């Protein structure tokens, strides 16, 4: 009887748990946010990222900050919370933390600010960033410098990117003369990344004779890198 009671309790609580913490697309996020008159919108990126552009009326509460839990404790737990970061990793963790701290309705934007921005949706403060990094013409020179070029768009704060870097560096040397492997850091090249319509990192863009033939996102093992390159050699 006791086991049956526990299972019943878990099953009854599932609908609430699913409702309390939900990951939704940028389109759903935008619609749901517009419908909610009492929404609390949180940008959980760093203050530096926030200053380079953010959603209108978003409060900056850095998830990596030591006082993150102290700050979210001041929010109203009975009002919906909408949360986003750059690409979804930090916001997912923040949404879990909010749910665990008693917030009844939490919406996490899948793909984050990167997806939102490259979709052409409205942002504030983006003009402060100015034009930075590599230009499109400079990028075009890179992708036409060899017959086969693999571009790795990464960031220092992206754990899969950092984990793959030794493999990328190894293959840069091994494939020299056969294919070019170029690494481009996301943070100083946001304008270029947006122009390339890359909305998720890690991102690997494979070019042949200056034309994009493949775009892959996410973590890859060494054998996957080799297969990707060898497919065009």
The string of pLDDT tens digits covering residues 126-156 is: 755 445 689 999 999 999 999 999 999 998 8
Catalytic residue among 41, 42, 55, 85: 85
Residue 162: other Cβ atoms inside 10 A: 13
161 is catalytic: no
Would you tell me the crossing angle of helices 222-230 and 159-174 to the nearest 10 degrees? 50
Over range 62-91, report the average pLDDT.
95
Rounded CA-CA distance 43/41 in Å is 7
The percent of residues in the chain predicted with pLDDT above 90, rounded, is 70
Question: CA distances (Å), 97 to each of 4, 132, 157, in order?
Answer: 29, 34, 20
Q: Is the pLDDT of residue 215 over 90?
A: yes
Indicate the range of 65-74, 116-125, 193-202 predicted with least confidence: 116-125
Per-residue model confidence (pLDDT) at position 12: 43
Rounded CA-CA distance 229/233 in Å is 7
The percent of residues in the chain predicted with pLDDT above 70, rounded, is 88
What the chain holds in terms of domains, given with CATH numbers, is: 2-128 (3.40.250.10), 136-230 (3.40.30.10)
Stated length of the chain? 233
Q: How confident is the model at residue 19 (pLDDT cuts 50, 70, 90)?
A: very low
Q: How confident is the model at residue 16 (pLDDT cuts 50, 70, 90)?
A: very low
Per-residue model confidence (pLDDT) at position 190: 84
Distance of CA 178 to the CA centre of its chain: 32
């Amino acid at each position: 009887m006791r086991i049956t009671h526990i299972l019943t309790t878990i099953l009854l609580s599932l609908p609430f748990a699913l409702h309390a913490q939900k990951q939704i697309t940028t389109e759903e996020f935008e619609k749901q946010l517009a419908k909610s008159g009492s929404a609390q919108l949180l940008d959980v990126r760093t203050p530096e990222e926030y200053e380079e552009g953010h959603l209108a009326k978003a409060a900056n509460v850095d998830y990596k900050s030591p006082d993150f839990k102290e700050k979210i404790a001041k929010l109203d737990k009975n009002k919906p919370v909408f949360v986003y970061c750059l690409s979804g990793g930090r916001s997912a963790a923040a949404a879990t933390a909010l749910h665990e701290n008693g917030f009844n309705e939490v919406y996490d934007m899948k793909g984050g600010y990167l997806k939102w921005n490259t979709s052409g949706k409205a942002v504030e403060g983006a003009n402060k960033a100015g034009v930075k990094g590599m230009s499109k013409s400079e990028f075009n020179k890179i992708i036409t410098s060899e017959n086969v070029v693999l571009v790795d768009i990464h960031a220092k704060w992206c754990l899969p990117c950092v984990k793959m870097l030794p493999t990328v560096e190894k293959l840069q040397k091994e494939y020299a003369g056969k294919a070019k492997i170029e690494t481009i850091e996301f943070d100083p090249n946001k304008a270029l990344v947006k122009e390339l319509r890359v909305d998720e990192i890690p991102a690997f863009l494979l070019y042949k004779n200056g034309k994009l033939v493949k775009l892959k996102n996410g973590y890859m093992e060494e054998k996957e890198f080799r297969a990707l390159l060898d497919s065009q050699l």
